[in-house]
Structure 1
């Protein structure tokens, strides 16, 4: 990734510090705005005006290109707390490992990928963008242990595999029940993870080749010792 080294050498001091802390605080503010809006009978809720929508953006609501990152995940307050905790922890660790500039570039490329998906399918969310953070962390520090629901210890690599399996099942079910929606979800996933494949594609290819060599060596050893 020589291009990244060149960018960092030239612009390495220009980045948003504590990026994920800012994102998490923004999500909390939007969540509270929705809570107060719902209690006041507001419809639609404030977060609706922050989401990615191709039609809305083409009609001048360009702020959505940025504000969608602050839309909190769905669910109750407890699940939101868990999600925001993980976002902050992973973002902080990635910033420590990579440095703030690389984390900014990684997140920016994820945003651009989400934009591309949005202009193709008509809408977009930050779900896959935040997933790309988790995948990056699980790739860099696979043996880091988290406490699921603050109780159950589980390593990052197993969490990533479980999440990927659940997402694959969800995509398959969506394809079966609503093929067009499934296609849209697949397009959104692929484009939103462009940052991950850009940063880790070579690593993944090398790992696959390494595992194939190991498997081939095991087969050769068994054949020689029959």
Structure 2
């Protein structure tokens, strides 16, 4: 029996059903904060290890509220589209994997961010600002690995399969990993990739089947 199967037997009853619904509500709230009072997020909600260790415990979760935004109708329009796409992607993964495994995937990412940030602060005294945007990418990457031939329509009319879109985004983030001056940004990218890798290793533990093939879920 794999580690995930043992955990599911013990903790499966605590899994949050339809977790993606709550994540998307959180993204919508984060978007509204970004267009109205972005400083509020950075002062009170972001992942600040120093603040967490001084009593701001809520930050271990509230940092997830962040959703990138700019002003204008176009920003609102694309935010609505983006959140709807993420909801569809997340719900599909929940259906294929089950509630517990999707919960595990998402919250293991949250745990990685918090543990990494706090450990770096304890060792170096530096409180890195970790960017939760890359957690959204990890959800899409997991989807592309599971359903690589799903077709998305960029700007509603350019068809591209999920696997190719994932390759392009991966190359972009690897480029940012090299050129970004932000250590927090670099670490966020690494943690997002690490969470996907860890989850699929655990999913494949003790099995010979290819977990990236949709036929294995039918």
Question: Residue 16 of structure 2 contacts residue 99 of structure 2 at CA under 8 Å; is this kept in 1?
Answer: yes
Q: Which has the higher contact order (CA 8 A, sep 6+)?
A: 2
Deviation per CA, 1:39-61: give whole Å up to 9, x if none.
Answer: xxxxx633222111122222221
Distance apart, 1:91 and its partner CA? 0.6
Question: Residue 148 of structure 1 contacts residue 154 of structure 1 at CA under 8 Å; is this kept in 2?
Answer: yes
In the aligned structure 2, how far is the partner of 1:116 from the partner of 1:122?
A: 12
Q: What does residue 158 of structure 1 align with?
A: 164
Question: Residue 26 of structure 1 contacts residue 70 of structure 1 at CA under 8 Å; is this kept in 2?
Answer: yes
In the aligned structure 2, how far is the partner of 1:102 from the partner of 1:25?
A: 21
Deviation per CA, 1:52-110: give whole Å up to 9, x if none.
Answer: 11222222211110111122123422332232122211110100100111000011111
Question: Residue 30 of structure 1 contacts residue 46 of structure 1 at CA under 8 Å; is this kept in 2?
Answer: no
Distance apart, 1:17 and its partner CA? 1.3
Question: Residue 118 of structure 1 contacts residue 188 of structure 1 at CA under 8 Å; is this kept in 2?
Answer: no
Task: Map residues 79-158 of structure 1 onto 2, 5 A cutoff.
Answer: 79-119=78-118, 120=120, 122-158=128-164
- Number of matched pairs: 193
Across the aligned residues of Structure 1 and Structure 2, the Cα RMSD in angstroms comes to 2.4
Matched position secondary structure for 1:168: helix
TM-score normalised to the size of structure 1? Answer: 0.76
In the aligned structure 2, how far is the partner of 1:33 from the partner of 1:194?
A: 29
Question: Residue 145 of structure 1 contacts residue 155 of structure 1 at CA under 8 Å; is this kept in 2?
Answer: yes
TM-score normalised to the size of structure 2? Answer: 0.78
Gaps of 5+ in 1: 38-43, 207-226
Rg (Cα) greater in structure: 1
Deviation per CA, 1:111-170: give whole Å up to 9, x if none.
Answer: 111113322262212122221111110100000111222332211101100101111222
Matched position secondary structure for 2:15: coil
Which one has a larger percent helix, Structure 1 or Structure 2?
1
